[in-house]
Amino acid sequence: MMEYIPLNFPFLAAALLVGISFYILIFKRNLIKLIMGIAILASGVNLFLVALGYRAGGNAPIYTDVPEGPMVLPVPQALTLTSIVINVAVLALMLTMVILIYRHTGDIDSKKSRILKG
């Protein structure tokens, strides 16, 4: 049982990152910290995607001058690149909106700056 832990270490790290981000999203009120929590969630999911493609002792999936042996899967690496680009756009949009909320209400606490409820 204990010999599985070093093999599965990337997946444990991804689960830890997702768990930390859930804690931040639930308990932290500052809007900038909320955006950091979403960035950590994105890092956790991206780490999970890259880690699931790894094959033990594998080489980079490039056909030029490739040594003998298995290759790691290239598709999850493509999925991760796409996901990183999408998250950059989303984080930029969220930061812009926080700046505008601060200009209008003077506060970036999620309880004090809300106007709509009920």
Determine, following the binding rule CB under 8 A, whether residue 105 of this chain makes contact with another protein: yes
Q: If binding is defined by CB under 8 A, does position 17 make contact with another protein?
A: no
Residue 28 phi, psi dihedral angles, 5° rounding: -95, 135
Phi-psi bin for 58: left (phi > 0), alpha (psi -120 to 50), beta? beta
| Residues paired with 59 in a beta bridge | 71
Q: Can residue 76 be called a binding residue for another protein (CB under 8 A)?
A: yes
What are residue 65's phi and psi, to 5 degrees?
55, 45
| Piece in contact with another protein (CB under 8 A), picked from 1-9, 58-66, 94-102 | 94-102
For the chain, give the longest Cα–Cα distance.
64
Identify the residue whose tokens are 């999850």.
Answer: 76
Does 45 engage in binding with another protein (CB under 8 A)? yes
Residues in region 49-68 near another protein by CB under 8 A: 49, 52
What residues make contact with another protein under the rule CB under 8 A? 18, 22, 25-29, 31, 34, 38, 41-42, 45, 48-49, 52, 73, 75-76, 79, 82-83, 86-87, 89-90, 93-94, 97-98, 100-101, 104-105, 110-111, 113-118
